[in-house]
Amino acid sequence: MNYRLSTILDRELHSSDTTKVIDITLADKVSRMVVLYEPLNGAEAEPAAHPAKCISKIELVDGSDVLYSLTGQEAQAADWYSNLREPGNLMCYLNGMTAEMVYNINFGRFLYDPLYNFDPKKFSNPQLKITIDIDGGGCTVASGYLTVQAHIFDQRAVEPVGFLMHKEIKDYAMGAGTHEYTDLPTDFTYRKLFIKSQKYAAGLEYSFGKIKLTEDNDRRIPINHTIFEVLKAIVSNSPKYQEMIITHGPGLANRYYYNTPCYWPIFTSTGWTSSATPQAVNAYEGDGGRFLCCNTTAGNNLSHLCQGYCPHGTVEIPFGLQDDPADWYDVAKIGNLKLDITAGSTMSSSESCQIFLQQLRSYAAA
């Protein structure tokens, strides 16, 4: 076989907050690692948060060298913008059932990219660190199952020149209309820049004002656009994120649930039962990643088809033709690279913004 799915960690039960450290002992080159986490819902209740938050951080390190470091939500957003398709998530909030959250760690432009992939032999002691927040999301979750797999090159010999590295650069509290200046690294070529923020019941068009990227004190300004302009450019170039959400039927007591697309999500809702029971089902709001579910008949489970943009409140700024490494953003000759983000007028210190990158890391520099 040229390619194979290898198991790094068999399905393992966890019932407390922990950081699972896994030594990467694979000899084969890795195109993608797959972290699967299944939070088990407890008693029926309004969920704490999106189930993706049960994984608070995923890191791939080699000693003090950080090769990948994102939150669970950031990992899912980066994966979406790399592949433009939803992973095999199951958004289930029913008691006694697990949600199924997939976090793909992509090392290449596409699955089994022969040019860019992770070669464990290039590093001394690579380790995968997965931080679990047991009740970080889902409904009264007290345990969950962790599995880790890898898409590897088996009998196909490839000689990669590097891999795609992902890192969070900054996480800061916002303020109404304030500027946040961030000095960005100039060590590795940029393929993508991500900006993330979530405020429930508010679309991303209200989270930010303007995004400006400037080189060497405005000698050159590659990006200087309002968030509305950036969002419209994204909407016209990417498909909708689509997911099925299974919830309880709360009856006349309306209840909030969480969704992944945060910009203009639209819902189609119906009963998820074995018989045709007369009921009216509504799903409202959804901007920022939380929607209000209401129906007229308590006890009947519901299904909601959600479609929208900007998973987990993340905006992507791609650089160049994404399949052509020579066309990506080479920052090596820039003395100072600064990102200026203006917050929306309705934001406050209770909201936050995360900045993270997808960079090309050459093995010559590893």
Domain termination residue (choose one: 100, 125, 160):
160
The verdict on 148 and 267 lying in the same domain is no
The verdict on 250 and 132 lying in the same domain is no
Q: Is the dihedral of CA 303, 307, 70, 26 positive or negative?
A: positive
Q: How many CA atoms lie within 13 A of 206 on its CB side?
A: 15
For residue 357, being part of any structural domain is answered with no
Rounded mean pLDDT of 212-216? 97
Domain termination residue (choose one: 310, 330, 352):
310
For residue 337, being part of any structural domain is answered with no
Nearest of 82, 91, 100, 115 to residue 11 by alpha carbon: 100
Are the CB atoms for 241 and 311 separated by under 8 Å?
yes
Residues forming beta bridges with residue 9, ordered by sequence position: 148
For residue 289, being part of any structural domain is answered with yes
Is 296 a residue whose pLDDT tops 80?
no
Domain termination residue (choose one: 263, 279, 310):
310
Nearest of 48, 70, 353 to residue 207 by alpha carbon: 353
For residue 269, being part of any structural domain is answered with yes
E strand or H helix that includes residue 78:
helix 72-83
Domain count, the chain: 2
Is 348 a residue whose pLDDT tops 90?
yes
Lowest average pLDDT, out of 65-69, 221-225, 264-268, 295-299, goes to 295-299
E strand or H helix that includes residue 230:
helix 227-235
E strand or H helix that includes residue 153:
strand 143-153
The verdict on 10 and 139 lying in the same domain is yes
Rounded mean pLDDT of 337-366? 93
Query: Which is higher by pLDDT, 9 or 294?
Result: 9
pTM: predicted TM-score of the whole model, two decimal places? 0.96
The verdict on 3 and 152 lying in the same domain is yes
E-only strand ranges, 240-363 = 241-247, 255-258, 261-271, 281-285, 290-295, 302-311, 314-318, 337-343, 352-362
Give the tens place of pLDDT for each residue, 258-293: 999 999 999 998 877 777 766 778 888 999 999 999
Rounded mean pLDDT of 300-321? 95
For residue 17, being part of any structural domain is answered with yes
For residue 51, being part of any structural domain is answered with yes
Residues forming beta bridges with residue 48, ordered by sequence position: none
- The pLDDT of residue 237 is 85
- The pLDDT of residue 365 is 53
Is 236 a residue whose pLDDT tops 90?
no
CATH code for the domain of 152: 2.70.9.30
Residue 252 binned pLDDT confidence (cut-offs 50, 70, 90): low
Give the tens place of pLDDT for each residue, 50-108: 999 999 999 999 999 999 999 999 999 999 999 999 999 999 999 999 999 999 999 99
For residue 22, being part of any structural domain is answered with yes
Tokens of 356: 């993270």
Rounded mean pLDDT of 131-143? 97
Q: Residue 253, exposed/middle/buried by CB under 10 A (0-12, 13-18, 19+)?
A: exposed
Beta strand 126-132 with 261-271 is unpaired
- The pLDDT of residue 336 is 96
**What span, in angstroms and rounded, lies between the C-alpha atoms of 98 and 211?**
39
Tokens of 266: 């639209």
The verdict on 24 and 122 lying in the same domain is yes
Residue 341 binned pLDDT confidence (cut-offs 50, 70, 90): very high
The verdict on 134 and 270 lying in the same domain is no
Q: Which domain holds residue 14?
A: 1-160
For residue 73, being part of any structural domain is answered with yes
Beta strand 179-184 with 337-343 is antiparallel
